[in-house]
């Protein structure tokens, strides 16, 4: 029987699917949090067939809907004694400004806020499992336009690339906050850049951004290669001393200067807690 319990978002395609498959082959019990249950069941069966590991489970979770996130956490809390690995992998970029079910800008909601709430709701299980929390960020965190009085692009022209860069910066802020706030409780956290991966990422982008993606396509890596750093962080031994750090090609690297801004990190935490507060009761 598997003795490592791993929860992962965004596991129905791309690097999330490759990560789930690789960890299933290492006998992890995998809990896939998915928006589309039909697709989730299909991928679950594919992973079971390829890994010979029957301990693969699907839980409905729409990160753009905070009630759905809370419900998914409730399902896990009623099913599990602890979580050893949580991989916040799901993400996306949106070509135009859209809003989530809760009225939040979609890039912010899917890449950051949904995962933020998920971690808060799962904290008892994460503490019990002495968990590693792995946040899939990006080198896009170096290209940002963060305004804490307008995180959701309500009063300025929307930029999909800068909104995405902001969200990936927030993944690193979140990682560092978790390491600071929960390290003494046995929890470690890591952020990573998976590489420029040839997946369906950016499918909704148009104009010059779409042209740039087209130019980059020949230089992109496949999803299996893109998953390697996540897999490393989920399986490597004796890396807890590197908690809070940002990884690329399976080794720690320095993020941007903005990513280590303590004031910004705490501002994001406080704003996020206020946004999800009613779902924590």
What tokens were used for 274? 């206020």
Measure Cα distances from 97 to 5, 150, 242, 257 in Å. Answer: 36, 13, 36, 27
Take residue 238 and report the two structure tokens written for it. Answer: 């004796």
- Catalytic residue among 164, 173, 182, 246, which? 164
Residues 6 or more apart whose Cβ sits within 8 Å of residue 85: 4, 5, 6, 7, 8, 23, 28, 131, 132, 134, 234
Is 164 among the residues known to form the active site?
Answer: yes
The Cα 46–Cα 238 span in angstroms is 32
Burial of 131 (0-12, 13-18, 19+ CB in 10 A): buried
User: Could you tell me if 168 and 154 are in contact, meaning their C-beta atoms sit under 8 angstroms apart?
Assistant: no
List the catalytic residues: 164
């Amino acid at each position: 029987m598997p003795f490592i319990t791993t929860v992962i978002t965004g596991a129905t395609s791309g690097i999330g699917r490759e990560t789930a498959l690789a960890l299933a082959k290492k006998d992890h019990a995998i809990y896939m949090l998915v928006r589309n249950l039909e697709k989730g069941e299909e991928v679950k069966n594919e992973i079971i067939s390829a890994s010979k590991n029957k301990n693969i489970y699907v839980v409905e979770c729409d990160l753009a809907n905070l009630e759905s996130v809370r419900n998914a956490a409730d399902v896990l809390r009623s099913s599990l004694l602890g979580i050893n690995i949580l991989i916040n992998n799901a993400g996306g970029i949106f070509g135009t400004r859209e809003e989530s079910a809760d009225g939040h800008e979609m890039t912010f909601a899917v890449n950051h806020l949904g995962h933020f709430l998920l971690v808060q709701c799962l904290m008892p299980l994460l503490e019990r499992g002495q968990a590693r929390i792995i946040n899939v960020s990006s080198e896009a965190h170096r290209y940002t336009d963060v305004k804490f009085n307008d995180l959701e692009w309500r009063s300025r022209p929307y930029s999909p690339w800068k909104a995405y860069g902001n969200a990936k910066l927030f993944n690193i802020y979140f990682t560092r906050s978790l390491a600071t706030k929960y390290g003494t409780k046995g929890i470690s956290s890591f952020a990573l850049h998976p590489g420029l991966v040839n997946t369906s990422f950016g499918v909704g982008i148009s104009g010059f951004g779409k042209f740039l993606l087209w130019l980059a396509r020949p230089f992109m890596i496949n999803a299996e290669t893109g998953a390697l750093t996540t897999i490393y962080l989920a399986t490597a031994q004796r890396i807890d001393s590197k908690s809070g750090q940002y990884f690329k090609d399976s080794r720690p690297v320095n993020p941007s200067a903005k990513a280590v801004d303590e004031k910004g990190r705490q501002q994001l935490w406080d704003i996020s807690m206020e946004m999800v507060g009613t779902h924590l009761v």
